[in-house]
Amino acid sequence: MFDERNEFGESLLVIRIQGLLIFFLGKAQENVSLYMSKTSLLMMEIYTEDVFSSFLHLIWDLVSLIVLLMAVANIVYGIAWIFFPKWNPSTRWKIVRQKK
């Protein structure tokens, strides 16, 4: 069971552990995104008259949205790698190579 390998010679247990780590990274990113959006709303309540603050609020919301989208992608890939470690390994291998 622990010695199963995919077509690239990687251990399926290692892939599942990586998937679990990526899943938790996605959950952490999701929490950061929610904190950023709450901070943005607080900034808008405090600084309502300033035009620059409105622009800063918009930029902050866009960054928060990007972080949230990355979090969703990490959660989906993490779940896929945990439960389906042989799922499209060529795509997974390309992603791992890009990160190095």
Cα–Cα distance, 42 to 64 (Å, whole number): 14
Per-residue pLDDT of the chain (100 residues; tens, 9 = 90+): 567 877 777 788 888 888 899 999 999 999 999 998 888 888 777 776 777 777 788 888 899 999 999 999 999 988 988 888 776 656 666 666 666 5
Residue keyed to tokens 């607080």: 42
**Where are the domains positioned within the chain?**
12-99
- pTM (whole model) above 0.85: no
Task: Report the SS3 class of residue 9.
Answer: coil
Tokens of 12: 């399926």
